[in-house]
Amino acid sequence: MEVGDNLTARCIMLQGTSSHVGKSLLAAGLCRLLYREGFKVAPFKSQNMALNSYVTGDGGEIGRAQGVQAEAAGVQAAVEMNPILLKPKEDMVAQVIVMGRPYADMSAREYRESFTPEGLEISRKALHKLRGEHDVVVIEGAGSPAEINLKDRDIVNMNIASLAEAPVLLVADIDRGGVFASLVGTLELLTPQEREMVAGFIINKFRGDVSLLTPALDFLENRTGLPVLGVVPFIRNLGIEEEDSVALYSRDGRGREKEEDSGAGALLDIAVIKLPRISNYTDFDPLDAEKDVRLRYVERKEELASPHSPDAVIIPGTKNTTADLAYLHSEGLAGEIMRLHARGGSVVGICGGYQMLGRRLYDPQGTESSALVESKGLGLLPISTSFNPRKLTRQVRARVSLHRSWGSLAGLELQGYEIRHGGSEVDGDIPSIAVLPEQEGAAAEIIGLASPDGTVFGAYLHNIFHNDLFRRRWLDSLRFRRGLEPLEGREDALQVGRAREESYDRLAFILGQHLDLERLYRIIGLESPPAGWFRSRLAAEGKGG
């Protein structure tokens, strides 16, 4: 196949023996590898359940994993890449996003019994559009294809593979244990027609000497008649955003371990509240990547109290602001945040966290909860928030006001995105962050505020810490309070965009080293790669010709 001469893209699908085996990351790596090799690539996942979401250029909301995979593939993210997104809202209830827009709130039973036939048709049309515009579509499944109770209404695994005529690579996580039983067992629970679609296996997250696995790999291939395309190593500190909070809740709460003598002196301690309905926590990945920051996620008030008092505490976004605000109060976290503020600590709120920093929250139409019409906020910023059913999703350019309270942050231009219901009214003329108007003379919309002393700020702007200069200067303001030298201007300063591109390339190169690429291309139905990126990089690193 020559690039660009096909009307219908080739497809390859990654399915897993369970959730969190690494399908999303492997899909991103394959997207990057194929893109670097000269193919026009698109990711696809028909149905995703995640509170980490991504806003496309036209304001559509999709799963963050597909946004990341689109970045890895070098293409603009589109709603067709994830036509159905489920965002858990309450126990057994989720907001259903269809083609980037809110569709309805549904219980699991309502969704399964009433929506899935329509959902399969929506997915078929989205996939058809992508196949007409690309050379290869890398498809990600969800959970396991062997979930017996879900198979009759499947719109994300084998039914999608059938629609796409996609060979399936079954992925298993060896780090969990039981990898061979999970692979063989999954195959045993598939129908004969489904087993015919499985073209091979990928074993993921391996630690150690792969030669020790050879007898087991031989057994697996002899038992199933299917090839093992490769054993992918456990990759540390890759720097690519995780799909959802399942990864967050696997952390030990201490954050990434860093050395105090990293060249930055003593580490800044930043605590993020691990809200029950936390969303878009990838906002804070750039902080975690900074050499002078120890980022930790906390659930107990004791983790904020002296002697564990952090330099700053962040209240993140949430799918249900009023419920998670009640959680802050019930667990004593609200009181501890106020005591931290009284001691001069910095307090930050993003999106739902920004709303919590205000004085009042009103929900007259039951947008978030039918139980609470009015809630009292923490009162650290002079705003009042009113929720309504209309959902605002958009990419945003904004500017920090020139007010002296912002210090070195004043006047900086920011990029990010918004996902919210309702808005906030500001009481008084105080330091703000405002959307840059698209038309000359249009009124600026305030989407963030700071306290007069600069110790508190909040904003609706997700990805605010992905803005390198804003992030670095804010961290240096914390360093100043600690009597530490600023780090702005260092040659090794983190540049998020460049680091992300390097991470995608690193992942693609690792996959190229550990997967049988010739067999993979044959399975997909591709000729030799036109660009030869992997071979060139392999030769440049002296690892082969």
Is residue 300 within 8 A of residue 335, CB to CB? The reply is no
* DSSP codes joined into one string, 179-203: HHHHHHHHHHHS-HHHHHHEEEEEE
**pLDDT per residue as tens digits for the range 261-289:** 555 668 999 999 999 999 999 999 999 99
Q: pLDDT of 377-416, one tens digit each? A: 999 999 999 998 899 999 999 999 999 999 999 999 999 9
Does the pLDDT of residue 520 top 50, yes or no? Answer: yes
Residue 254 has pLDDT above 50, yes or no: no
Task: Specify the pLDDT at position 243.
Answer: 61
Measuring CA to CA, which residue among 55, 94, 99, 92 is closest to residue 77?
55
* pLDDT of residue 2 exceeding 50: no
| Contacts of residue 352, Cβ cutoff 8 Å, sequence gap at least 6 | 275, 279, 315, 316, 317, 318, 319, 320, 321, 324
Residue 422's SS3 state is: strand
391-418 residues labelled b (16+ CB within 10 A) or e (exposed): bebbebebbbbebebbebbbebebebbb
* Mean pLDDT across 525-544: 82
Please state the pTM of the whole predicted model: 0.90
pLDDT for residue 262:
57
Using left for φ > 0, alpha for ψ between -120 and 50, and beta otherwise, residue 265 falls in left
pLDDT band of 246, cuts 50, 70, 90: very low
> 406 and 337, same structural domain?
yes
Instruction: State the average pLDDT over residues 428-432.
Output: 84
Can you tell me the mean pLDDT for 246-266?
A: 54
**Are 235 and 261 within one domain?**
no
Helix 496-514 × helix 64-73 angle, to 10°:
80
Rounded Cα gap, residues 374 and 384, in angstroms:
11
Lowest mean pLDDT among 389-398, 509-518, 522-531: 522-531
Q: Does 412 lie in the same domain as 515? A: no
CA angle 449, 466, 84 (to 5 degrees): 95
* 354-374 per-position pLDDT tens digit: 999 999 999 888 887 766 688
- Which range has the worst mean pLDDT, 85-99, 231-245, 504-518, 523-537? 231-245
The domain that holds 50 is classified in CATH as: 3.40.50.300
Q: What percent of the chain shows pLDDT beyond 90?
A: 77
Q: CA-to-CA distance for 194 and 402, rounded, in angstroms?
A: 61
Greater confidence, 491 or 24? 24
Question: Do 110 and 181 fall within a single domain?
Answer: yes
507 and 466 within one domain:
no
- Amino acid sitting at position 162: S
Average pLDDT in the 449-473 region?
A: 96
Domain for residue 299, yes or no?
Answer: yes
228 and 341 in one domain? no
Same domain, 75 and 215: yes
469 found inside a domain: yes
Q: Which residues make Cβ contacts (< 8 Å) with residue 485, sequence separation at least 6?
A: 265, 479
- Looking at residue 492, its pLDDT comes to 86
Residues with Cβ within 8 Å of residue 440, at least 6 apart in sequence: none
Question: Do 521 and 477 belong to one domain?
Answer: no
* 390-404, 490-504, 527-541: least confident range: 527-541
For residue 16, the model assigns a pLDDT of: 96
Residue 543 pLDDT level (bands cut at 50, 70, 90): low
Number of domains in the chain: 2
Q: Which domain holds residue 266?
A: 256-483
Residues 217 and 261 in one domain: no
Residue 493 belongs to some domain of the structure: no
Question: Is residue 83 located within the same domain as residue 137?
Answer: yes
Residue whose pair of structure tokens reads 């036509």 in the numeric block: 83
Query: What was the pLDDT predicted at 72?
Result: 97
162 and 92 part of one domain: yes
Q: Which residues contact 268 (CB under 8 A, 6 or more apart)?
A: 292, 293, 294, 311, 312, 475, 478, 479, 482
Pairing outcome for strands 383-400 and 360-362: parallel
Find, among 402, 484, 416, the residue nearest to 450 by Cα. 402
Question: Of 33, 43, 100, which Cα lies nearest the Cα of 66?
Answer: 43
- Copy the structure tokens of residue 495: 């540049």
Q: Are residues 146 and 265 in the same domain?
A: no
| pLDDT at residue 440, rounded to an integer | 63
Residue at 4 is within a domain: no
522 Cβ contact partners less than 8 Å away, ≥ 6 residues apart: none
Choose one of 483, 509, 531: the last residue of a domain: 483
- The 10 Å Cβ neighbour count of residue 346 is 22
Residue 251 lies in a domain: no
- The angle formed by the CA atoms of residues 356, 361 and 362, to the nearest 5 degrees, is 160
pLDDT tens per residue across span 43-74: 999 999 998 999 999 999 999 999 999 999 99
Q: Report the share of the chain in percent with pLDDT over 70.
A: 92
Is residue 201 included in any domain, yes or no? yes
pLDDT value at position 3?
43
Helix 23-36 to helix 64-73 angle (10° resolution) is 20
pLDDT digits (tens, 9 = 90+) for 196-242: 999 999 999 999 899 999 999 999 999 999 999 999 999 987 888 76
pLDDT at 258 over 60: yes
pLDDT score for 14: 98
Predicted confidence at residue 249, as pLDDT, reads 44
Q: Where are the beta strands (DSSP E) in 274-362?
A: 278-279, 293-298, 312-315, 317-318, 346-350, 360-362
Interatomic CA distance for residues 195 and 168, integer angstroms: 9
What does each C-alpha distance from 335 to 133, 275, 325, 330 come to in angstroms?
54, 15, 12, 10
Run of H or E including 447: strand 446-450
3-class DSSP state for residue 319?
coil
Predicted pLDDT at 1: 41
* 545 pLDDT more than 50: no
Task: Using the predicted structure, report yes or no on whether residue 255 has a pLDDT greater than 60.
Answer: no
List Cβ neighbours of 199 (8 Å cut-off, separation of 6 or more). 167, 168, 169, 226, 227, 523
| Angstrom distance (rounded) from CA 37 to CA 53 | 28
Contact criterion met (CB below 8 Å) for 54 and 68: yes
Please tell me the least confidently modeled range out of 58-67, 192-201, 319-328, 524-533: 524-533
Give domain status of residue 247, yes or no.
no
Catalytic residue numbers? 351, 462
CB burial string 112-144: b at 16+ within 10 A, e below: beebbeebbebbbebbeebbeebbbbbbbbbbb
Residue 347 lies in a domain: yes
Residues 6+ apart with CB under 8 A from 121: none
Higher pLDDT, 5 or 165: 165
